[in-house]
Structure 1
Amino acid sequence: MGLKKEANANVNPTHVAVDRKRHLNVVFIGHVDAGKSTAGGQILFLSGQVDDRTIQKYEKEAKDKSRESWYMAYIMDTNEEERAKGKTVEVGRAHFETETTRFTILDAPGHKSYIPNMISGASQADIGVLVISARKGEFETGYERGGQTREHVQLAKTLGVSKLLVVVNKMDDPTVVWSKERYDDIQSKMIPFLKSSQYNVKKDVQFLPISGLLGSNMKTRVEERVCAWWDGPCLFEALDAVEVPPRDPEGPLRMPIIDKFKDLGTVVMGKTESGSICEANPIPAVTEFVAQLQILELLDNAIFTAGYKAVLHIRAIVEECEIVELMQQIDLKKKKPMKKTPLFVKNGAIVLCRVQVNNLICIEKFSDFPQLGRFTLRSEGKTVAVGKVTTLPTVANNA
């Protein structure tokens, strides 16, 4: 799963229908070995964002690298440098939902070399999950002067992360075995430091034990036979219960810019702290449309017919798509539609077809807005067709 940073914008409900679930950005912070990516990957698995087949694939990849316990982290750590070193480098991003809240997970790097990237992640966050390793020696390494646990906490507070869940991870480790004494020792050492970092520990901080690797005390409460002394909430319950100060959607628009890059124009990323962004004429969001395609050059032995699959590129959108119906072929000499509906077409053909994608995409008809109505189809790294969007569904979602 490719993970990128995103802007968090409020949409004025007087203009468009909105999802009434609240949305929160959650940044995972902590020392490099605390298990942030593993915990994030486990959350996605437990909330149904990753299927068993994908998990099995990651288990095999991790085993091949002799890193069997890292497989859950592979869900969040997607590039080869991260998988080889077992360290998050970029700020990973993923999504999951509970009954009341839509969450965006921001997995910030823990290694000191990537502190600027961690700052980028924390600056987008509404709440922080500070992951601490309970394993003997690892908590001490992160907590000692100069350790990343301390620096991350101080940076998070400075960057406006006012609410903190402190999850004591790796409670299943052989050096811990869900020890209340170890948990209490970590909590007693962290509380004075959190207070010195200007956190209101009683109001804004909550501690809880978990096992990110096993998923214990995450979606459901840990079983009594595993941990008889814990009677508090699990991680999902704690996340659902966090209250953050509301932003003022009627205030002036204020959006600190986090990053920018050039991609057919300048694209900026930020977090809307006040005000609203809305469109008087919102762009259609669809999973199906009709397009006129010109077939350039198909791969060897490929047949362009209903069921043909390729990768659709339109502006910055990249989505897998399927041709579900060939509707008309254009006679290249007469420039008119042929009477017979084609079963398949060859290189050079121009054909009207119905296209489906897996996820909602924002596009326009070429006749209305050419920049958002032209696209390419690629297969195995090669452009096989170019197209124009001719018709959108009469009932389309609005972004």
Structure 2
Amino acid sequence: MEDFNEKNVAMTIKMTKLNVNAKPFVPTYAGKPILENNIENAPDDWESMDQDKNIIRSVLKEDNGAGGGGVNLINHFEEDMADIKINSNVASVNNDNHSDGDYIESHVNLAADELNDFKKPLKSNLHDEIYKENVNIVFIGHVDAGKSTIGGQLMNLTGAIDKRTLEKYEREAKEKSRENWYLSWALDTNQEERDKGKTVEVGRAYFETPTKKFVILDAPGHKCYVPNMISGTTQADIAVLVISARKGEFETGFEKGGQTQEHAMLAKTIGVRHLIVLINKMDDPTVKWDHERYKECKEKLLPFLKKVGFNPKTDLHFMPVSGLQGTFLKYLPDKSCPALAWYSGPSFLDYLETFPPFQRMFDGPLRIPIIDRYRDMGTLVLGKIESGTVYKGQTIYLMPNKNLVEVLQMWSDEVEIKKAVNGENIKLKLKGVEEEDVCPGFVLCDILHPCRTGKLFDVQIVILELKSIICPGFSAILHVHTLIEEVTVKILICLIDKKTGQKGAIRPRFVKQDQAAIIRLESIGTICLETFKDFPRMGRITLRDEGKTIAIGKILKILE
């Protein structure tokens, strides 16, 4: 009898370990399952859980003769384990002993169960806080407009960077006679960018407000780094066009040869719908918050932005700011600021808070175009979830090579998470692929609905700026989602009337500037593609040649 009581005590201890919030165990065999079906409270050490399960199983089987109640309790335990172990390690699957069909089917069923679980109210993976919407903001504009400075000031005002680090940057900048650059160093992290005062790679930082979590994407403004700017803008939900109001700088950036026009056009082409125009450096001695200078900049920009496709009523918002002083970024200035006499709108952060939630494809097939990859105790990749949801422990495809990979770990803003949804920028640690076998432009996707691949496809384009003509055999650089690939024109299918949209009946011999056409392109290798109809953000293309954007368009059909 004493031996039986000791076993009951041991079983009670083992069962209560599974949930720190569990009530004391009462051996009512006809009761409901003991474990709560709550993935948030599940422990990470699944191996120890398996050991506990085996111990309890042996104890209950020994006691099975007393009324047979132990068998029912084992069944309850197995059901709870099946529910709670959604994100357990799937590495135990042996490809040598299972066919690919069985392997894929098992994980498709698992993904369906996870999707049902996701439809519950969203909460943070590591805390019991309400889920905050993730919003990606890209800062674009001509070089030296103040993009990095505004990004650094936002981090300062929201507490995303500590005071000691900022003071360190200020001392280092002063030593190099660059006192006004210290805020930009929060985003320009490498020595080349700090020495030249020019952003080369897309800087990335994070800050939060009471209702949203923002990702800052600091795009380079120099014309030599437009491909990097395109890569950053493909991740954005909102674009912020930064304009310098300083005398001479606005004209240099906006007129021919500057990057203001090209950046705004590329943002619209890539699919960014909302554009906030920050007219910066209003505190400069050549401006002094002059209303006339503000109106001059706005009146010159507005016709061009309307021509690009932005609706002034719904897609555009103008505001004056000072990135260096932080004026109108988080707080409105005091009454001494001359701008209060003519600007009565909200601050930049207050305006961002007014945006309604973005429409996200949470239930869509998973799509994560890879931005970058590197090795650090395994293969790590960076990307934005364009559709669907991804879980820790999930097995997915890496296209176009169709590699089965497992998600070992995930991070968002350097915080480890177990689940990420459409719109989030994440870092993933993958099992089943080496770092040298992954390239930017590859796509992580569902096993059930993989991303389409091909090397021959039809596109509809508009020729923007081209001194020569486009004919079969013409080569250019294709930008689509995060992919950069050389393509060749195979066939000119037809011209399109830009006013009526009608297709011409005669196949053209060439296409020139300001014409619209449907053409067939061929890439050197197989690439990941989606049609504009199925995935608009992954179906928009840009063609560049000799450092200039020559055409924009969309993918109509993927042939092979």
> Separation in 1 of the partners of 2:270 and 2:309?
12
> Using a 3 Å threshold, how does the CA distance of structure 1 residues 362 and 243 change in structure 2: closer, same or farther?
closer
Aligned to 1:17: 123
Q: 1:360 to 1:25 in 2, by over 3 A?
A: closer
Given residue 347 of structure 2, which amino acid in structure 1 is its aligned partner?
Answer: C
Q: Against the structure 1 CA distance between its residues 256 and 128, is the aligned structure 2 distance closer, same or farther, given a 3 Å change threshold?
A: same
Q: Secondary structure at the match of 2:288?
A: coil
Listed one character per residue, the Cα deviations across residues 286-313 of structure 1 (whole Å, up to 9, x for unaligned) are xxxxxxxxxxxxxxxxxxxxxxxxxxxx
What does residue 514 of structure 2 align with? none
Q: How far, CA to CA, are the matches of 2:150 and 2:378 in structure 1?
A: 37
Q: C-alpha displacement at 1:114, in angstroms?
A: 0.9
Match of 1:237 among 337, 345, 350: 350
| Mapped pair 1:202 → 2:308 | no
CA distance 1:133–1:249, change in 2 (3 Å):
same
Corresponding residue for residue 191 of structure 2: 80
Cα distance between partner residues in 1 of 2:378 and 2:393:
22
Residue of structure 2 aligned with 1:154, choices 265, 280, 302: 265
CA distance in 1, matches of 2:149, 2:264: 20
Find the counterpart in structure 2 of residue 270 from structure 1.
Answer: 383
Matches within 5 A, 1:45-194: 45-194=156-305
Distance change >3 Å, CA 186–CA 253, structure 1 → 2: same
Spell out, residue by residue over 1:343-381, the C-alpha distance to the aligned partner (whole angstroms, 9 max, x if none). Answer: xxxxxxxxxxxxxxxx75579xxxxxxx99xxxxxxxxx
CA contact (8 A) 2:392 2:410 kept: no
**TM-score (normalised: structure 2):** 0.48
Q: Which amino acid aligns with 1:23?
A: N
Q: Secondary structure at the match of 1:141?
A: helix
Contact 2:151–2:184 (CA<8 Å) still a contact in 1?
yes
Query: 3-state SS of the aligned residue for 1:203?
Result: coil
2:140 aligned to which of 19, 29, 40:
29
SS in 2 for 1:171: coil
> Are the aligned partners of 1:222 and 1:234 in contact in 2 as well (CA < 8 Å)?
no
CA distance in 2, matches of 1:13, 1:218: 36
Instruction: Give 2:231's aligned amino acid.
Output: S
List alignment gaps of at least 5 residues for structure 2: 1-114, 125-129, 395-407, 419-429, 432-560
CA 1:248/1:316 → structure 2, altered by over 3 Å: closer, same or farther? closer
Query: Which string of whole-angstrom CA distances, capped at 9 and with x for unpartnered residues, describes residues 75-123 of structure 1?
Result: 1111110110000111111110112110000001111111111111100
RMSD after superposition: 2.8
Asked if 1:246 corresponds to 2:359, the answer is: yes
SS in 2 for 1:117: helix
SS at match of 1:176: coil
Which one has the bigger helix percentage? 2
SS in 1 for 2:217: strand
Are 2:122 and 2:131, in contact at CA under 8 Å, matched by a contact in 1?
A: no
Cα shift at 1:241: 1.6
Matched-pair contact (CA < 8 Å) for 2:245–2:280: yes
Contact 1:127 1:162 in 2 (8 A): yes
Which residue type is aligned with residue 17 of structure 1? Answer: K
Structure 1 residues 245 and 49: CA distance shift in structure 2, 3 A: closer
Higher relative contact order (CA 8 A, sep 6+): 1
Q: How far apart are residue 279 of structure 1 and its match?
A: 4.1
| 8 Å CA contact retained: 1:25, 1:127 | yes
Residue 33 to residue 316, structure 1, CA distance change in 2 (3 Å) = farther
C-alpha distance after superposition, 1:197-254 (max 9, x if no partner): 1111210110000000000011111333212211001110111123464112112223
Q: Kindly state the Cα deviation for residue 16 of structure 1 after the two structures are TM-superposed.
A: 7.0
Worse-superposed segment, 227-236 or 237-246: 237-246
- Say which SS state the counterpart of residue 77 (structure 1) adopts: coil
Greater mean alpha carbon deviation, residues 53-62 or residues 124-133:
53-62
Whole-angstrom distance in 2 between the partners of 1:240 and 1:50:
21
8 Å contact from structure 2 (residues 392, 409) kept in 1: no
Structure 2 residue aligned with 1:223: 334
Instruction: Find the aligned partners of 2:360 and 2:267 in 1 and give their Cα distance.
Output: 19
Amino acid at match of 2:179: E
Q: What secondary structure is seen at the aligned counterpart in 1 of 2:368?
A: coil
TM-score by length of 1: 0.66
Q: Deviations over 1:31-71 (max 9, x none)?
A: 11100000000000000112222222111111111111111
3-state DSSP class of the match of 1:250?
Answer: coil
2:149 is paired with a residue whose SS is: helix
What is residue 285 of structure 1 aligned with on the other side?
A: none
Indicate the SS of the match to 1:83.
Answer: helix
Offset at 1:15?
9.4
CA distance in 1, matches of 2:235, 2:260: 19
Residues 224 and 13 from structure 1, CA distance in 2 versus in 1: closer, same or farther, beyond 3 angstroms? farther
User: CA 1:168–1:360 in 2, change beyond 3 Å: closer, same or farther?
Assistant: closer
Pair 1:63–1:222, CA change in 2 (3 A) = same
How many residue pairs get matched? 284
Structure-2 residue corresponding to 1:386: none
